[in-house]
Chains A and B, each alone.
Chain A
Amino acid sequence: MNEQTPTPSERAEKLQGLGSSRKRVEDARFTQGKGNYIDDMKLPGMLFGDFVRSIYGHARITSINKEAALALPGVLAVITVEDLKPLKLDYMPTLAGDVQAVLAGDKVLFQGQEVAFVVAEDRYIAADAVELVEVEYQELPALVDPFKAMEPEAPVLREDIKDKTEGAHGPRKNPNHIFTWEAGDAEATETALDQAEVVAKELISYQRCHPCPLETCGCVASMDKVNGKLTVWGTFQAPHAVRTVASLITNIPEHKIRIVSPDIGGGFGNKVGVYPGYICAIVASIVTGAPVKWIEDRIENLSATAFARDYHMKGEIGATRDGKITALRCYAIADHGAFDACADPTKFPAGFFSIFTGSYDIPAAFLSVDGVYTNKAPGGVAYRCSFRVTEASYFIERMIDVLARELNMDPAELRMKNFIKKEQFPYTSATGWEYDSGDYQTAMDKALQAVDYTGLRTEQKANREAFERGETRKLMGVGVAFFTEIVGAGPVKNCDILGLGMFDSCEIRIHPTGSAIARLGTISQGQGHATTFAQILASEIGIAAENITVEEGDTDTAPYGLGTYGSRSTPVAGAAAAMAGRKIRAKAQMIAAYLLEVHDNDLEWEVDRFVVKGAPERFKTMTELAFAAYNQAIPGIEPGLEAVSYYDPPNMTYPFGAYICVVDIDVDTGVTEIRRFYALDDCGTRINPMIIEGQVHGGLTEALAIAMGQEITYDELGNVQGASLLDYFMPTAVETPHWETDSTVTPSPHHPIGAKGVGESPNVGGVSAISNAVNDAFAHLGLKHTAMPHDHWRVWKTAQKLGLTG
């Protein structure tokens, strides 16, 4: 080596591996309008499908007349349930072990439900034809309130399964009941609550909202009758699972189906499920022999494809008078809508809701969740969070604040008093989760200092006094939230979806000239996988990230994987990438040993090369080794340099964070301004700090949307209210505050590179922090809890109830 030779650290920097804020490779096409989203696709002879949807929340269909629609020039077909029945496609399996009507049969069960599928030459004609299909209904009483679902006089919604006493998750108590799911120790919790010096109780509701990605759902299905191959391009967060499901329900063999996810305009959980539109487009393509495109519009997206949350949680929390929490109990009603189409791992009908003890060492805990049917759209997906973790985290973070009021204790202090301590990790919670790693106190201290928490409380005191004296009409609120996420589903032994283990995969091929292609079972929807997975590999195999192509989303080429949701890409597929990289390196080491004529063990890896121990001038770079793999006959070693890894994580990962939010509320108008928002995230090893920060900004903005306004409501007739962007709150740049981000790093001990996943944490922690801040503003006036969303009107109502308005 001479002075010209770059040092190891210079070489490492060139790789743009782990820890580099590498710019995204995806951006060149997106900034020039050259993305390839589903609605950009155009195939020769392509037709368009559009739905006739139910106008009622609950009604019997008495007749469907397609004549007028079929008579319209340019209309090729009108598909109804009668066409699907012979194909056994009138129902499709949901991810939750239920079935969902593809097209309504005798009854419609929610407003916007798919009744008929019109196929026409262009989208305008299809829309015209939808108007011409005559459907006659006989209206039935609608069931909207989930608390009434199990009352004896409630209308029976699901006639198809009304006599089924055993559901996918155990016995059903009532025709509208889906499951009861329990976790923890009921008896111990009962005793602990009985003995507690203080017990606080509250009903915490998390409203029905919708992920509402900017691009709606859609697909193009094309059945090639000559070779019998079906290709479906679409907005799929889990393309491989879609292929398996499609094969199971259509009986087309799996190798004759190709599922492709092109660029996806945001998912946030909305694009995990299989929707009637996909099935109808496939059937229409088979029937017409032409490719068929189906793209939903925004109103359809908000009113018919997967919603999120709708959890109503009755909580009891017991503690000693000095603030040591002794017990936690929750009884929740989960409104699943008309079909149970939750996207949860099979054994977890309430997702990971049992992580509801949060970041606290609570000795006794018990929960019971009842899932029920109502006349609302199906869904229950994880809107930018892991399965039901947002609900759980919101529940505990509000309960802690409610308890703090009861104890007259500072909410930050109460949290710190009950944190799981650093030395307790790995920690097993009362409901059986094994938390991998954490250092909550350090994170909290850093957060409190960063915002000058004591100063804020002093200011708040002064503000309250000034308010009393009539000098201001604004109240200040400080919200503290500490969350623990549980992501990266998951160990195959207890996590599967439709029987498919939730592993993920990566396949790498090194080209002779030292560049590479990697394919994964996941699919990016804006997370920048093409950028970050290349970084993981760059650090593992010593090839610069820019020389590694990352491909996902085509089931014909990518290895099998369960897709991207629940922040599982980094914990699972990221680990698969690292492991595949290590296999490449192991083979490269053998090649290097042969070329350098030393024993394998005499070599050590240094950034991008194997170096002979003690002889730094003798080395082989990865580029040289790649070439040798293809051009030399090496005894005992197969040619080529490729590896595949299927990674089954030993455990989930548990990212955490401390968030603090400061609001100023005008009591006369309810206008709530976020003055400051500080977010500290610990997601373990940080792969690309720039992308992490972007994910945090985005997640916080979605948290803001949920906490401050997003809600899908229904009137008593089952009419969906506000399912368009006219009413459904989407924060603009004006309502969105400046986000302050910070971090600590506590690597996951079981993940190959220590990463935990981050995309969803800010939504989990953000909602609680904002809601706690709004509640805190009124706490001194005796307010215990006011429900989300905290839009101006509701906040004003709260102020009015407290007698603050004129």
Chain B
Amino acid sequence: MGKTHVKLTVNGREVEGLAEPRTLLIHFLRDELELTGPHIGCDTSHCGACTVDLNGKSIKSCTIFAVQASGAEITTIEGISGADGTLHALQDAFKEHHGLQCGFCTPGMITRAYRLLQDNPNPSEEEIRFGISGNLCRCTGYQNIVKAIQTAARELSAPKEAAE
């Protein structure tokens, strides 16, 4: 099948590659760009393991073609920590509160939470639970994930409040 030229910005870097029109974004990210952080957990857009950030929105990258993402700005789990390697507050909080076990859902979960906290910096427990309901976790029972996101939210808004 003929391939199309795809150019996008991933984790702040301009990248390009060839993709068939039917190539899913998740396969393009994982197989072409070797960003294997986002995972594949289903075939029906239910699990959210493939979640990435596309133009400021959480999307399930198994449900969009790579060519559709042409020109977009994408952030994957690999781009969540600082350029100098410092971990994002969410990454610290997931470890601190045992918000992961097998780790398979974790990249999608953190990427989703990252967007959630930008849209709603002080979410209630209910808002967090609803906000991550597109991401399944089979191991943790979510309780510690919720705790981790709450902690990160506090952490992220604290310096700002102090400055105000």
* CB closest residue in chain A, given B130: A734
Nearest Cβ on chain B to A216's Cβ, whole angstroms = 8
Q: Pick the contact of B94 from A27, A37, A726, A730 — CB < 8 Å?
A: A27
Tell whether, in the assembled complex, residue B46 and residue A730 are in contact, meaning their CB atoms are under 8 Å apart.
yes
Task: Please name all residues of chain B whose beta carbon is closer than 8 Å to the beta carbon of A32 when the two chains form the complex.
Answer: 37, 77-78, 80-81, 87, 91
Tell whether, in the assembled complex, residue A733 and residue B36 are in contact, meaning their CB atoms are under 8 Å apart.
no
Tell whether, in the assembled complex, residue B138 and residue A33 are in contact, meaning their CB atoms are under 8 Å apart.
no
Majority secondary structure, A binding face: loop
Interface flag for B61 (CB, 8 Å): no
Binds B, one of A138-146, A259-267, A388-396, A585-593: A259-267
Chain B, interface size: which category?
Answer: 35 or more
Q: Pick the contact of A701 from B20, B95, B142 — CB < 8 Å?
A: B142
| A734-752 interface bits toward B, Cβ cutoff 8 Å, 1 = contact, 0 = none | 1010110000000000000
* CB closest residue in chain B, given A263: B103
Nearest Cβ on chain A to B89's Cβ, whole angstroms = 11
A32-B37, A215-B39, A266-B139 given; 12 more Cβ-contact pairs under 8 Å: A32-B78, A34-B37, A212-B138, A213-B102, A214-B39, A214-B139, A297-B42, A725-B136, A732-B133, A733-B133, A733-B142, A734-B129
Can you list 11 residue pairs at the A/B interface with Cβ under 8 Å? A39-B36, A124-B1, A214-B137, A297-B43, A526-B101, A694-B98, A701-B140, A730-B136, A733-B128, A733-B130, A736-B143
Tell whether, in the assembled complex, residue A726 and residue B46 are in contact, meaning their CB atoms are under 8 Å apart.
yes
Bound CA–CA A30/B78 (angstroms) = 11
* Given contacts A27-B94, A694-B98, A733-B129, A33 and B104 within 8 Å (CB-CB): no
Tell whether, in the assembled complex, residue B100 and residue A31 are in contact, meaning their CB atoms are under 8 Å apart.
yes
Q: B residues engaging A (CB < 8 A)?
A: 1, 20, 22-23, 27, 30-31, 34-44, 46-47, 49, 76-78, 80-81, 87, 90-91, 94-96, 98, 100-107, 110, 128-130, 132-146
Bound CA–CA A299/B94 (angstroms) = 30
A290-334 residues with Cβ-Cβ distance < 8 A to B are: 297-299
* CB closest residue in chain A, given B81: A32
Total CB contacts across the A-B interface at under 8 A = 178
Tell whether, in the assembled complex, residue A214 and residue B95 are in contact, meaning their CB atoms are under 8 Å apart.
no
A122-163 residues with Cβ-Cβ distance < 8 A to B are: 122-124
Tell whether, in the assembled complex, residue B41 and residue A215 are in contact, meaning their CB atoms are under 8 Å apart.
yes
List the 7 closest pairs (A to B, CB-CB), nearest first: A33-B37, A30-B103, A526-B102, A265-B104, A697-B141, A33-B77, A526-B101
Tell whether, in the assembled complex, residue B138 and residue A214 are in contact, meaning their CB atoms are under 8 Å apart.
yes
Bound CA–CA A34/B39 (angstroms) = 11
Task: Please name all residues of chain A whose beta carbon is closer than 8 Å to the beta carbon of B134 when the two chains form the complex.
Answer: 732
* CB closest residue in chain A, given B85: A32
Number of interface residues of A (CB under 8 A): 57
Nearest Cβ on chain A to B113's Cβ, whole angstroms = 11
Tell whether, in the assembled complex, residue A124 and residue B23 are in contact, meaning their CB atoms are under 8 Å apart.
yes
Nearest Cβ on chain A to B41's Cβ, whole angstroms = 5
Tell whether, in the assembled complex, residue B101 and residue A528 are in contact, meaning their CB atoms are under 8 Å apart.
yes
A24-48 residues with Cβ-Cβ distance < 8 A to B are: 24, 26-35, 37, 39-40, 42
Interface flag for A23 (CB, 8 Å): yes
Q: Pick the contact of B102 from A215, A298, A699 — CB < 8 Å?
A: A215
Task: Please name all residues of chain B whose beta carbon is closer than 8 Å to the beta carbon of A42 when the two chains form the complex.
Answer: 31, 34
A202-237 residues with Cβ-Cβ distance < 8 A to B are: 212-216
Bound CA–CA A739/B141 (angstroms) = 9
Q: Pick the contact of B106 from A31, A528, A701, A732 — CB < 8 Å?
A: A31
Q: Pick the contact of B41 from A263, A298, A736 — CB < 8 Å?
A: A298
Task: Please name all residues of chain A whose beta carbon is closer than 8 Å to the beta carbon of B81 when the two chains form the complex.
Answer: 32
Interface flag for A527 (CB, 8 Å): yes
Nearest Cβ on chain B to A494's Cβ, whole angstroms = 31
Task: Please name all residues of chain A whose beta carbon is closer than 8 Å to the beta carbon of B142 when the two chains form the complex.
Answer: 697, 701, 732-733, 736
Nearest Cβ on chain B to A806's Cβ, whole angstroms = 30
Nearest Cβ on chain B to A547's Cβ, whole angstroms = 19
* CB closest residue in chain B, given A695: B101
Task: Please name all residues of chain B whose beta carbon is closer than 8 Å to the beta carbon of A40 when the two chains form the complex.
Answer: 30, 36
Task: Please name all residues of chain A whose beta carbon is closer than 8 Å to the beta carbon of B96 when the two chains form the complex.
Answer: 23
Q: Pick the contact of B138 from A26, A30, A299, A702 — CB < 8 Å?
A: A702
Tell whether, in the assembled complex, residue A697 and residue B37 are in contact, meaning their CB atoms are under 8 Å apart.
no
Bound CA–CA A326/B52 (angstroms) = 59
| A695-724 interface bits toward B, Cβ cutoff 8 Å, 1 = contact, 0 = none | 101111110000000000000000000001
Task: Please name all residues of chain B whose beta carbon is closer than 8 Å to the beta carbon of A31 when the two chains form the complex.
Answer: 77, 87, 90-91, 94-95, 100, 103, 106, 110
Bound CA–CA A698/B105 (angstroms) = 13
Tell whether, in the assembled complex, residue B87 and residue A698 are in contact, meaning their CB atoms are under 8 Å apart.
no
Tell whether, in the assembled complex, residue A214 and residue B44 are in contact, meaning their CB atoms are under 8 Å apart.
no
Bound CA–CA A266/B114 (angstroms) = 24
Task: Please name all residues of chain A whose beta carbon is closer than 8 Å to the beta carbon of B42 when the two chains form the complex.
Answer: 297-298, 724-725
